[in-house]
Amino acid sequence: MTAELSRCATWNRKAAELLLHCGRASFYQELVAAIRTLVAADNPQVWLYHRDQPPRILFYDIETQQQEVHIDLYRNGSYLLDPYYRAIFHHPNPSGVYCLTEIEPGEFAQSAYCRSYYCKLGTRDEIVFMVEVNADTALHVCLMRSHDAEAFSCSELDLLRAVEPLVRNLVLQHINQQDIASRGKPAEWYPVTRTNPGIGSSINQAFNRFGRSILSDRERAVLGLILRGYSTRYAAEKLGIAVDTLRKHRKRIYQKLDVNSQNELFSLFLNAISSFDPGSDEDPLAVYIGSAASLTE
């Protein structure tokens, strides 16, 4: 038996065994183990996303010293700028297998998300199974390759796409049995719970209100694209303005917000969002600035 046939035989056996784990806490661990018979993957994670809520971690295989950046920092607000997260509710058909170069918005390496968060992961490449549960809920199975490993090949991506329908249907069957899309799970399913208190159910409202007491409507539109990782050229194209015009807007934004770089802008955004009160109609940035000023008096 060739190595490829042996690998397929192992996958088939693992896939069949997954049926026995549907509805059980062991399902995602066994799912990741099955996928790893097809491709090597570092730091695999399974995330559950609800619209307007922070994501929940359902499974991970990450070394202890890396869990804080992979999980805690991500849940504490970095996920808001994750291209995979943003694709959930903006992509017309989100279910499927996607590599980072397909899902990223333009020049990903220059984005605030990459510079302030993703570069800390030590990740060379990433592939994600995106499963749409319903209009408000999605599940991601994330597979990574560390910097000391090769990037995923085209043949590996094709292989994962070949098994995607089976993976998706198994996940949906498991969710149907567990009903995790509508009710909570035991604490052991979500071992990482350290989250900033301001990251709550109305996070998109906070995002939309950020800076509105200080910036003009056009500047807020530019700011939104910058935070979402669009390069200067892509942002200008999306807004239908010249690159030089966008740069002038960006300069004024930096001046008004008293920041000098995308990293400082990203940090300010996360700090302001953590101060957001869902019951208030105020700009979270204004609230944060006011709180910071009172502490220095």
**Helices within the chain (DSSP H only):** 3-21, 27-35, 67, 73-75, 83-88, 100-103, 112-116, 154-178, 203-209, 217-227, 232-239, 243-257, 262-274, 284-296
Residue 106 lies in a domain: yes
Nearest CA to 272 among 282, 262, 156?
282
Query: Of all helices (H) and strands (E), which one includes residue 139?
Result: strand 137-146
Enclosing H/E stretch for 129: strand 123-134
Query: Residue 186 pLDDT more than 60?
Result: no
Is 141 a member of any domain?
yes
Are 172 and 208 in a shared domain?
no
Range of the domain at 97: 3-187
Q: Which residues does residue 146 pair with via DSSP β-bridges, in sequence order? A: 123
pLDDT band for 1, please (50, 70, 90 cuts). low
Q: What is the CATH number of the domain that holds 254?
A: 1.10.10.10
Q: Which of 86-90, 122-126, 227-231 bottoms out in mean pLDDT, i.e. has the lowest?
A: 227-231
The answer to the question of residue 193 being in a domain is no
Q: What is the pLDDT of residues 38-72, one digit of tens each?
A: 999 999 999 999 876 789 999 999 999 999 989 98
Per the structure, the count of domains in the chain is 2
d(CA 91, CA 111): 20
Residues 35 and 77 in one domain: yes
Same domain, 42 and 167: yes
pTM above 0.95, yes or no: no
Q: Which of 155, 187, 219 is the last residue of a domain?
A: 187
- Phi, psi at 44, each rounded to 5°: -65, 145
Question: With contact defined as beta carbons under 8 Å apart, do 160 and 129 qualify?
Answer: yes
Question: Domain check: are 25 and 101 in the same one?
Answer: yes
